[in-house]
Chain A
Amino acid sequence: MKLNGQQHVGRLAGIALVFGVILFIAVVAGISTGPTQSGIHAAWAALFPRNETDLVLHNIIWRIRFPRVLLAALDGAALSLGGLVFQALLRNPLAEPFILGVSGGAAIGAIIGILAGLTRVPGVCLTAFVGSLGTLALILVMSTGKSTLRKDALLLSGVMVNAFCSAIIMFLVSITQDARLHNIMFWLMGDLTAAELPQIVILGAALVPCFIVVFLLSHTMNLLMMGQDMAQTMGVDIKVATFTLLIVTSFMVSATVSFSGLVGFVGLVIPHLLRLILGPDHRFLVPACLFGGGAYLVCCDILARTLSQHGEMPVGVITAMIGAPLFIILLKKSSS
């Protein structure tokens, strides 16, 4: 479908509006849902507390639920965009930060940062970034040879990178008695409870410029999907574009990992779902992934908080339960 400039802007605005509204509804649902008291009315009453009961809910909503929902929305947006960028750059529909092992590398970096006693911002974020760049370099080296351009080879190398990262993480956890790592198992499956509002605001301030860069490069991603030769003839500086996208994506993923651990498969589910609805044009997919990914992780987190009667579960359990079967279906479809 060929769109002129005005139609393009109209469609972009429409998509941003629809997915923005979906995200808003998810956020409202996330704030009004919890093990203690649920419902929009209760949440609304808690905004302006008039008595002691309202004050309790006021504290719960603003100090516990709201930071968590905000973190989920930011994480979901960053991870979905990460998946979308990796799928475009590697021209592999199954590429995703978690599956490729980039998240695992960031986790190693984050744990080293935690053990070194660094603060989360910027210390742990930076060590996580270095870790993710390390695994990314490894993946790129493995996928540049002609023989490894095949989908399954890239996935297999991702599985191996992941296994290696898990081993290193377990090694680091085993050799330390540090109490700071006692929650590590929870963190490894994705934990949205840790952060507080000021830190999340910093995360948002770091991620929003990344979102803008990816959006500005969305047309370039369209051209890259057509093949490197084609992109070059269309005037794309492939090296600069690829380098920028990879660095920005690694940064987004590592910032996410250092705040909330390993949340897998978000970058697989959302880009695929949105491609089915909106088609392959990245200029529309980027904003849709941004809002849609945020809404998706907020909804997964609602399930993680409410499904169990006895406490809560890591959000990564839910995303993996949805994402892993989808991954198998996509793999089966792409090989047949």
Chain B
Amino acid sequence: MAAGHRAYPHFSREPVVALAPDVVVITTMSRSGAFNKAKADWQRLTHIPAVRHNRIHMVDSDVFDRPSPRLVQALEILTQLLHPGLLKDGP
């Protein structure tokens, strides 16, 4: 999780690359191959653990970005992505 000194930090791309995340979760890119392009962009940054361990994931923006009861489902998906195996049944 992108943690910082303040809640909900804003990141531009450069600090993200510098922080070398373990997992990258991308939303709102499901249409017209945008995710594949974004993923290909990330994969060129070989020093990032998320790239080395193939942990770049796309999630459904409708589930994640809308304030609705489905956020619980989003939380389950996120748990599965960040800590695979923690939830025995899966999302």
B28 pairs with A182, CB closer than 8 A: yes
Give which listed residue, A64, A179, A310, A312, contacts B31 with CB less than 8 A: A179
**Residue of A37, A59, A117 with highest tally of chain B CB at under 10 A:** A59
Q: Which residues of A pack against B, CB within 8 Å?
A: 34-37, 52, 55-56, 59-60, 63-65, 117, 178-180, 182, 193, 196, 305, 310-312
How many whole Å from B53's CB to the nearest CB in chain A? Answer: 16
Contact bitstring B25-36, A, C-beta under 8 A = 1, else 0: 000111110100
How distant is the Cα of A180 from the Cα of B41 in the complex, in angstroms? 17
B14 pairs with A178, CB closer than 8 A: no
B10 pairs with A310, CB closer than 8 A: yes
Give which listed residue, A64, A117, A178, contacts B17 with CB less than 8 A: A64
B12 adjacent to chain A (CB < 8 Å): yes
B9 pairs with A310, CB closer than 8 A: yes
Complex: chain A residue closest to B18, CB-CB? A36
In the complex, which residues of chain A have a beta carbon less than 8 angstroms from the beta carbon of B17? 36, 56, 59-60, 63-64
How distant is the Cα of A171 from the Cα of B17 in the complex, in angstroms? 36
In the complex, which residues of chain A have a beta carbon less than 8 angstroms from the beta carbon of B10? 310-311
Give which listed residue, B12, B29, B47, contacts A305 with CB less than 8 A: B12
Complex: chain A residue closest to B30, CB-CB? A179
Give which listed residue, B20, B34, B44, contacts A180 with CB less than 8 A: B34
B73 adjacent to chain A (CB < 8 Å): no
In the complex, which residues of chain A have a beta carbon less than 8 angstroms from the beta carbon of B30? 179
B66 adjacent to chain A (CB < 8 Å): no
A64/B13 contact (C-beta < 8 A), A56-B47, A59-B47, A179-B61 known: yes
Complex: chain B residue closest to A178, CB-CB? B31
B15 adjacent to chain A (CB < 8 Å): yes
How distant is the Cα of A179 from the Cα of B35 in the complex, in angstroms? 11
A56/B44 contact (C-beta < 8 A), A65-B14, A311-B12 known: no
How distant is the Cα of A183 from the Cα of B10 in the complex, in angstroms? 15
How distant is the Cα of A162 from the Cα of B30 in the complex, in angstroms? 33
**Residue of B9, B14, B18, B29 with highest tally of chain A CB at under 10 A:** B14
Listed A/B pairs (26) with beta-carbon separation below 8 Å: A34-B14, A35-B12, A35-B15, A36-B15, A36-B17, A36-B18, A37-B18, A55-B47, A56-B17, A56-B20, A59-B46, A63-B17, A63-B44, A63-B45, A117-B32, A178-B31, A179-B29, A179-B30, A179-B31, A179-B61, A180-B31, A180-B32, A180-B34, A193-B12, A310-B9, A312-B12
Complex: chain A residue closest to B4, CB-CB? A310
How distant is the Cα of A306 from the Cα of B10 in the complex, in angstroms? 13
**Residue of A179, A180, A182, A196 with highest tally of chain B CB at under 10 A:** A179
In the complex, which residues of chain B have a beta carbon less than 8 angstroms from the beta carbon of A178? 31
How distant is the Cα of A196 from the Cα of B30 in the complex, in angstroms? 21
How many whole Å from A29's CB to the nearest CB in chain B? Answer: 16
In the complex, which residues of chain A have a beta carbon less than 8 angstroms from the beta carbon of B13? 64, 193
Give which listed residue, B32, B34, B45, contacts A59 with CB less than 8 A: B45
Complex: chain A residue closest to B32, CB-CB? A117
In the complex, which residues of chain A have a beta carbon less than 8 angstroms from the beta carbon of B18? 35-37, 56, 60
How distant is the Cα of A65 from the Cα of B47 in the complex, in angstroms? 17
A36 pairs with B14, CB closer than 8 A: yes
How distant is the Cα of A225 from the Cα of B88 in the complex, in angstroms? 78
**What 17 new A-B contacts, CB under 8 Å, besides A36-B18, A55-B47?**
A35-B18, A36-B17, A52-B47, A59-B17, A59-B44, A59-B46, A63-B45, A64-B14, A65-B14, A117-B32, A179-B28, A179-B34, A180-B34, A196-B41, A310-B6, A310-B9, A311-B11
